[in-house]
Structure 1
Amino acid sequence: MSMRVTFLGTSGAVPTTHRNPTAIYCQREGDGFLFDCGEGTQRQMMRFRTGFSIDHIFVTHTHGDHVLGIPGLVQTMDFNERDAALAIHCPPGEKRLVERLVSATGTRPSFPVRVNEVTAGEVALRGDEYEVRAFDVEHRTTAVGYALVEDDRKGRFDRDRAEELGVPVGPKFSALHEGRSVELDDGTVVDPEQVVGDPRPGRRFVYTGDTEPVDSTVEAATRADLLVHDATFAEDRRDRASQTGHSTAKQAGEVAARAGAKRLALTHISSRYAGDVSAHLDEARSVFAGEVFVPEDGDTVEIPYPDAA
């Protein structure tokens, strides 16, 4: 089952000619999710061929560079004769503002749009073998981050061991893999733990939105397969990062290291760094041993299972 993340917008508050305001598209098999929706996101979705098949938008906070794309995206969906419902999840107290964005052109879309406030610690969405959880972040306004966390998967079925125990090929194999004991023709009972390995972890994708480095991100991103963390500034603007509720690349690396994350994507890059993000990479790599990258708009990464070869 595939999971991939496409970076539609990677700039800080001020866009550049190469970086659009914040938006991240995540596709998990047939489910599509959008995390934040900066201005022009609908064009980025066309440009990078993600399509508009999303049923959920997760808003971290309502600063303009994270939400001003909502009116245009909703209108584009309407023009495309969408009829499926759309859910927009946002932090507490922001429902009315988001609803105003949905109807900013003075009309309501022809398809249902539901706005749902979600508090840190709550499950924003429970899907088929996964959930999207909100967690605390620290910015200059009410804000949350989101973690897409898959359920544990079944352990590996040891067919050879099952046959050694006399289990016939067929329905009893499935029963054991589903966790049910089976009785053989001679009365012997075979239990699942005899032929099924330990549960295997699912994948974890974590997106902070705008935030200072905080312990709650470390907790949410524990053993994350991909952590997308605010890295608006390099260390030369550490004081500015603190004043504005952002992080430096080094601080993002420290969070990733504490969390034991596998990969770290540095986003929300201030326009002051233009096309030179070498300092961001050097600083994060100085404290984090995992893979670090600064995505460009349009970059797509696959998230494999933790036990993938």
Structure 2
Amino acid sequence: MEIQFLGTSSGTPTRSRNMTAIALRTRGAKHWSLVDCAEGTQHRLLRTSMSPMSLRAIFITHLHGDHCYGLPGLLASAGMLNRTAPMAIVGPAPLRGMMECIMEATQLTLPYPIDWVAIEDLAHTDILPDLRVHATRLSHRIDCWAYSFTEAAVERKLDIGKLKAGAIPAGPAWGEIQQGRNVVLADGRVVVAEQFLLPPRRSRKVIIAGDNDSPELLAREANGADLLVHEATYTEAVLHKVGPGPQHSSAAMVARMAQEAALPNLILTHFSPRYQDREGALTLNDIEREAREHYTGTLFLARDLARYELGKDGSLHALQ
């Protein structure tokens, strides 16, 4: 599973960081998904290998502008590229009305259908062929959600020793068995595939959260997850100065929850523009330092266009 950050700033962009948008895809898949779509997202896409033509679904966490103002432009550009395949859009209830109002006011027509999916219908809708999606309500100034993506199916490996012991000849039959299909051998024996497959590995699970001032709301969902992507808008000191009004998390708050939930991997994002990349009174090093004081797992601070891969063994590493 691969994650690429198209924007990592909160509220407003900086010279080096756009606002929130995160791309997600599984290795080998011809499609990809997008979580949030800030203004400028489609421009960031031009610097990646992904195209609006293969975008399967968009998941909006909440309707603050730094998470959704790029949606009309991205949909329009997909139409101008002559896209015809349907696109699924998931988000809070007012999203559809907002988008339809914009489309009517600007006379935007699309050559492809949009499948609007209500969050409450996620459990009963197969939006992605390779991932199951679940939403968890968060705490923010407006209705806001986190999306969990869990592998829908896991490949199985052959039990070679058992195949040899059963005198099942190597060849096309082994390929059929690995695909889970029963086969009939030349001598008439019926081979039940399940009996010759090793136990599957655990399905990988990634949680991508919207804005949230209560990371503990994800504690239950994080049980057994491999990766959490969560905002860390401030350090504790700045959060105390700003006050609770914006309803954002500090790096320490998220790190403590991740540690208590035994999450093996954590990526922080959505940083206040007051934090400079390298030099200044406040830098991203302050956020990283605070998080590492409370979290001992694998930690990354997301950068725009940075790519990360979650391996089949649950390990997370940055891609070049």
**Which TM-score band applies after superposition, normalised by the shorter structure?**
0.7 to 0.9
Give the direction of change, closer, same or farther, for the CA distance of 1:190–1:96 in structure 2 (3 Å limit): closer
- What is the CA deviation profile of residues 27-59 of structure 1, one whole-angstrom value per residue up to 9, with x for unaligned ones? 222121011000011101012342222021100
Q: Offset of 1:11 from its aligned partner?
A: 0.4
Q: What is the distance in 2 between the residues matched to 1:207 and 1:191?
A: 36
Task: Give 3-state SS (helix, strand or coil) of 1:205's partner.
Answer: strand
- Give me the TM-score of the superposition, normalised by structure 2: 0.84
Indicate whether 1:282 and 2:289 are aligned.
yes
> 1:234 aligns to what?
235
State how far apart, in whole Å, the 2-side matches of 1:278 and 1:134 are.
Answer: 31
2:7 to 6, 9, 12: 9
Paired amino acid for 1:62:
L
Q: Residues 210-289 of structure 1: matches in 2 within 5 Å?
A: 210-239=211-240, 240=242, 242-275=244-277, 276-289=283-296
Of stretches 10-19 and 96-105 in structure 1, the one that deviates more from structure 2 is 96-105
Instruction: Give the match for residue 48 of structure 1.
Output: 48
User: Aligned residue for 1:112?
Assistant: 113
Other-structure match for 2:164: 163
**Distance verdict in 2 for CA 1:146–1:111, change over 3 Å:** same
Q: Is the 8 A contact 1:38 1:69 kept in 2?
A: yes
Distance 1:24 1:176 in 2: 34
* Two-structure CA RMSD over aligned residues (Å): 2.9
Judge which range, 263-272 or 100-109, deviates more: 100-109
Q: Which amino acid aligns with 2:236?
A: E
Q: Residue 23 of structure 1 aligns with which residue?
A: 21
> How is 1:285-300 mapped onto 2 (pairs within 5 angstroms)?
285-300=292-307
Q: Provide the rounded CA distance (Å) in 1 between the counterparts of 2:70 and 2:306.
A: 19
Given residue 303 of structure 2, which amino acid in structure 1 is its aligned partner? Answer: E
Secondary structure of 2:148 counterpart: strand
In the alignment, is the contact (CA less than 8 A) between 2:182 and 2:192 conserved in 1? no
For residues 103 and 32 of structure 1, do their structure 2 counterparts lie closer, same or farther at Cα, with a shift above 3 Å needed? Answer: farther
Conservation of the 8 A alpha-carbon contact between 2:21 and 2:41: yes
| Aligned-residue offset at 1:224 | 2.7
Q: Letter of the 2:109 partner, please give it.
A: R
Structure 1 window deviating more from structure 2 (202-211 vs 90-99): it is 90-99
Give ranges in structure 2 of 5+ residues lacking alignment. Answer: 278-282, 316-320
The equivalences for 1:89-238 within 5 A come to 89-103=90-104, 105-119=106-120, 122=123, 125-170=126-171, 173=174, 174-175=176-177, 178=180, 192-193=194-195, 195-238=196-239
**Aligned 8 A contact 1:131 1:149 in 2:** yes
1:176 to 1:21, Cα distance in 2 relative to 1, 3 A: closer
Q: How many residues align?
A: 306
Structure 1 range deviating more: 92-101 or 11-20? 92-101
Q: Which amino acid aligns with 2:72?
A: P
The amino acid across from 2:18 in the alignment is: N
Deviation at 1:103, TM superposition (A): 4.7
- Aligned partner letter, 1:21: M
65-74 vs 102-111, greater mean Cα deviation = 102-111
Q: Return the alpha-carbon distance in structure 2 between the equivalents of residues 273 and 143 of structure 1.
A: 24
Cα separation, partners in 2 of 1:117 and 1:51, compared to 1, 3 Å: same
CA distance in 2, matches of 1:189, 1:65: 56
Q: Which region of structure 1 is more displaced relative to structure 2, 34-43 or 290-299?
A: 290-299
CA contact (8 A) 1:152 1:199 kept: no
Offset at 1:109? 2.1
